[in-house]
């Protein structure tokens, strides 16, 4: 008797972590992520399929969100902005632009080269909670208004500085 063992190909891509739990219907407009029940990945960016999905929340790199700002999209929940190693964090003006375009809260997430989550903004919007355990002089370690005790990076520093801190 031949027993066949099917090895399911491991789903590739990083896990997207929505700042709110449970996550609303979210469209991730970037390569290298895997989806889940409420999260669909549109690696090509915003297109008719993504529009049909009718997300309440969109997660994408800043440039893609700026492109979408020209469309008249109505989101119910939030936008999540990916900033990457080698890029500056979101500026006040960036946030203002996104707020005016979408009218929903903006959450920044810092990603490493393989889309691994390094730090994420919480609902209290008072910095980015670092995901990996480490300590650094520049981290704020008082308990956040959101209740999460993990230390926070102040908003705005460049990702290289974060990677330095993680090293």
Residues interacting with Zn ion, by CB under 5 A?
Answer: 122, 124, 144, 146, 148
Write down the least CB distance from residue 147 to Zn ion, Å: 7
Neighbours of 54 (CB within 10 A): 11
- Edge-to-edge order in the sheet of strand 117-121: 39-41, 26-28, 57-61, 78-84, 106-111, 117-121, 128-130, 152-153
Write down the least CB distance from residue 122 to Zn ion, Å: 3
DSSP 8-state code for residue 2: P
Write down the least CB distance from residue 45 to Zn ion, Å: 30
- Residue at shortest CB range from Zn ion: 144
Write down the least CB distance from residue 70 to Zn ion, Å: 32
Write down the least CB distance from residue 54 to Zn ion, Å: 29
**Closer CB to Zn ion, 40 or 152, in the complex:** 152
Neighbours of 64 (CB within 10 A): 18
The CA distance from 20 to 68, in Å, is: 22
Two tokens at 94? 């960036």
**Closer CB to Zn ion, 140 or 161, in the complex:** 140
**Closer CB to Zn ion, 34 or 148, in the complex:** 148
**Closer CB to Zn ion, 72 or 142, in the complex:** 142
| CB neighbour list of residue 99: distance below 8 Å, 6 or more residues apart | 106
The CA distance from 81 to 95, in Å, is: 9
Three-state DSSP class for 33? strand
**Closer CB to Zn ion, 38 or 148, in the complex:** 148
């Amino acid at each position: 008797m031949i027993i066949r063992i099917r090895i399911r190909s491991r789903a590739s891509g990083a896990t997207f972590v929505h700042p709110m739990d449970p996550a609303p219907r979210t469209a991730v407009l970037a390569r290298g992520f895997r989806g889940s029940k409420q999260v669909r990945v549109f690696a090509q960016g915003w297109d008719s399929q993504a529009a049909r999905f009718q997300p309440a929340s969109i997660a994408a790199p800043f440039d893609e969100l700026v492109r979408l700002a020209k469309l008249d999209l109505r989101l119910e929940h939030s936008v999540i902005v990916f900033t990457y190693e080698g890029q500056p964090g979101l500026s006040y003006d960036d946030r203002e632009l996104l707020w005016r375009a979408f009218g929903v809260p903006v959450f920044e997430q810092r990603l490493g080269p393989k889309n691994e989550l390094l730090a994420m903004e919480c609902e209290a919007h008072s910095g980015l909670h670092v995901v990996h355990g480490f300590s650094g002089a520049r981290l704020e370690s008082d308990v956040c208004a959101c209740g999460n005790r993990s230390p926070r990076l102040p908003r705005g520093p460049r990702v290289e500085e974060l990677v330095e801190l993680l090293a």
